[in-house]
């Protein structure tokens, strides 16, 4: 019997490990989580509740921007929006908890509702007793990364979790961070709250993983369509409270034209850091940091400890956390049998619900920049959303898409920043993962639909490959 202790069983990664091992006849499971109500970041404070409130903002945005409609645009009832979000969130969380508790009803499984702390290599204390496993899985997730900025401790700040619960929004806000969270939450502040938003961008443009034209497009969209102020190539120097209870942020700009921004509230959308502080890792050989988790999901310093999800610092994305959990479960079984382990590999597949989800960004596989960096012979084609009449008829004319194809015709990657780019990502994931030839993809549309943008990319890429 192989005893596996899972610390962080309610989260997506821990639950994936638990569900994968639950049916194994020779595995004993101890599932530990101190969550209250429990359910994991994505369910409670992440992608699921955020899409709930973003959708309310999207409805208002589209009504307000459609010149075929008359009358004042509707206002978002924040109390009703948050009430519905909470109702759905609690339901999703209950479903996750019940699935873990169902596993714990098995003869060789148990659940411990407590915080776990290492006391030696494979022994943790939880529920008032010591629990020793043959393997320990750490799946404790992540927390907001508060930047080390002078004055930050003297200024009240809000996070995305606070915004998801807010029934009142400020007249003005300064935001630190225009990554995934910022790109989703900034338009919500602007559209739903009518908030005057300034968001700081360290680089020339947002979306590091995108080819530059996509970052430029999102900048134009946010500045012009959502009326957001975005100083680029700017860095926070210090922050201080104002006399009226607001915030004053001092910026250093690359062009030498330093700036001071004042607002009612400060929002930190500054990324996340692994939650390891309460684990007592000083009592184990584990030393968190760059490279501390191998591609097999094993800890570098202990081959019987596996680290999955946000806590390993690799790629804080929900579907990745689940896949890492599945991979860890398979590798635990392989290691227990003395068999080789399989590194976890995934095709790049990210979606950002930018522009309130009306103009989402999606990338699957290679971008033109990453293909070039990998020294892959390829062709890249681009199409503007405004080239396709269907986007105009749906009153969503902004955006662009691109396709990267090997010179042998193999589809290597897709990027989209346009209406419905998020749902098109799944189709392109299948195409990329199966290594299909662009010349073999159907080039037809049975009626005017938004995927016509893909047909245009397929045609253009196939022509270049044949040439």
Rounded to 5°, the CA angle 283-287-293 comes to 125
* pTM for this model (two decimals): 0.94
Is residue 341 domain-resident?
no
Q: Which residue, of 213, 237, 270, is where some domain finishes? A: 270
Tell whether omega for the bond before 37 is within 30 degrees of 0, i.e. cis: yes
Residues 266 and 277 in one domain: no
Tens-place pLDDT, residues 348-371: 999 999 999 999 999 999 999 999
Tens-place pLDDT, residues 284-326: 999 999 999 999 999 999 999 999 999 999 988 888 999 999 9
Residue 37 to residue 23: CA distance in whole angstroms: 26
Residue 305 to residue 136: CA distance in whole angstroms: 5
Mean of pLDDT values over 441-465: 86
- Minimum mean pLDDT range among 112-121, 178-187, 251-260: 251-260
At 442 the pLDDT is 83
Residues 164 and 119 in one domain: no
For position 106, which CATH number holds?
Answer: 3.50.50.60
Residues 413 and 436 in one domain: yes
From residue 108, alpha-carbon distances to 2, 31, 105, 116, 404 in Å are 10, 11, 8, 20, 49
> At how many degrees (to 10) do helices 421-433 and 452-466 cross?
40
pLDDT tops 90 at residue 267: yes
Residues 412 and 376 in one domain: yes
Residues 137 and 53 in one domain: yes
At 27 the pLDDT is 97
Residues 28 and 122 in one domain: yes
Residues 91 and 181 in one domain: no
Residues 398 and 283 in one domain: no
Q: How many domains does the chain have?
A: 3
Residues 380 and 462 in one domain: yes
pLDDT tops 80 at residue 443: no
At 38 the pLDDT is 84
Instruction: Report the candidate in 296, 436, 295 with the shortest Cα–Cα distance to residue 364.
Output: 436
Mean of pLDDT values over 149-176: 96
| Main-chain dihedrals φ then ψ at residue 145, nearest 5 degrees | -90, 100
Share of the chain above pLDDT 90, in %: 87
For position 406, which CATH number holds?
Answer: 3.30.390.30
Contacts of 181 (CB under 8 A, 6+ apart): 160, 269, 271
Residues 417 and 429 in one domain: yes
Mean of pLDDT values over 39-61: 90
Give me Rg for the CA atoms of the chain: 24
Mean of pLDDT values over 448-467: 91
At 446 the pLDDT is 66
pLDDT tops 70 at residue 445: no
Mean of pLDDT values over 165-191: 97
Per mean pLDDT, which of 88-92, 141-145, 338-342 is the most reliable?
338-342
Is residue 8 domain-resident?
yes
Is residue 259 domain-resident?
yes
Tens-place pLDDT, residues 222-231: 999 999 999 9
pLDDT tops 90 at residue 275: yes
Mean of pLDDT values over 229-251: 97
At 37 the pLDDT is 86
Residue 330 to residue 209: CA distance in whole angstroms: 30
Residues 139 and 159 in one domain: no
Give the single-character DSSP code of 222: I
At 376, is the pLDDT very low, low, confident or very high (cuts 50, 70, 90)?
very high
Mean pLDDT of all residues belonging to the chain = 95
Please give the residue range of the domain that contains residue 285: 2-144+273-336
Q: Which residue, of 249, 270, 291, is where some domain finishes? A: 270
DSSP codes, 320-374: HHHHHHHHHHHHHHHHHTTPPP-------EEEE--GGGTS-EEEEE--HHHHHHT
């Amino acid at each position: 019997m192989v005893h596996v202790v899972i610390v962080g069983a309610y989260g997506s990664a821990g639950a994936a490990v638990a569900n994968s091992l639950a049916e194994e006849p020779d595995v004993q499971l101890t599932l530990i989580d101190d969550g209250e109500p429990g359910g994991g970041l994505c369910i409670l404070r992440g992608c699921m509740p955020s899409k709930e409130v973003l959708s309310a903002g999207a409805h208002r945005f589209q009504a307000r921007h459609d010149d075929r409609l008359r009358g004042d645009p509707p206002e978002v009832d924040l109390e009703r929006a948050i009430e519905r979000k909470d109702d759905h969130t609690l339901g999703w969380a209950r479903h996750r908890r019940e699935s873990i508790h169902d596993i714990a009803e098995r003869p060789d499984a148990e659940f411990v509702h407590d915080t776990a702390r290492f006391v030696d290599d494979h022994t943790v204390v939880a529920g008032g007793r010591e629990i020793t496993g043959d393997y320990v899985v750490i799946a404790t997730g992540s927390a907001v990364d508060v930047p080390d900025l002078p004055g930050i401790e003297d200024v009240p700040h809000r996070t995305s979790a606070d915004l998801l619960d807010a029934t009142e929004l400020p007249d003005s806000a300064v935001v630190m961070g225009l990554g995934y969270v910022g790109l989703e939450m900034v338009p919500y502040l602007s559209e739903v709250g009518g908030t005057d938003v300034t968001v700081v961008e360290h680089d020339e443009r947002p979306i590091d993983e995108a080819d530059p034209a996509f970052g430029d497009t999102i900048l134009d969209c946010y500045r012009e369509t959502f009326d957001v102020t975005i100083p680029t190539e700017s860095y926070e120097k210090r922050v201080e409270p104002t006399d009226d209870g607001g915030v004053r942020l001092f910026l250093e700009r690359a062009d030498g034209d330093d700036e001071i921004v004042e607002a009612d509230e400060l929002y930190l959308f500054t990324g996340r850091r692994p939650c390891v502080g309460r684990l007592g890792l000083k009592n184990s050989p584990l030393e968190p940091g760059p490279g501390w988790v191998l591609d097999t999901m094993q800890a570098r310093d202990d081959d019987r400890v596996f680290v999955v999800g946000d806590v390993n610092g690799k790629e804080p994305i929900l579907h990745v956390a689940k896949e890492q959990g599945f991979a860890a479960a398979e590798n635990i079984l392989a290691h227990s049998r003395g068999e080789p382990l399989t590194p976890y590999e995934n095709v790049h597949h990210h979606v950002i619900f930018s522009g309130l989800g009306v103009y989402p960004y999606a990338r699957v596989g290679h971008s033109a920049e990453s293909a070039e960096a990998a020294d892959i012979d390829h062709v890249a084609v681009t199409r503007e959303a405004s080239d396709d009449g269907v986007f105009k008829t749906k009153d969503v004319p902004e955006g662009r898409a691109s396709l990267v194809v090997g010179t042998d015709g193999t589809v290597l990657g897709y990027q989209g920043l346009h209406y419905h780019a998020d749902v098109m990502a799944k189709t392109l994931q299948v195409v990329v993962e199966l290594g299909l030839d662009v010349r073999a993809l159907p080039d037809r549309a049975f009626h005017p639909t938004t995927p016509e943008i893909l047909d245009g990319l397929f045609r253009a890429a196939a022509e270049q490959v044949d040439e």
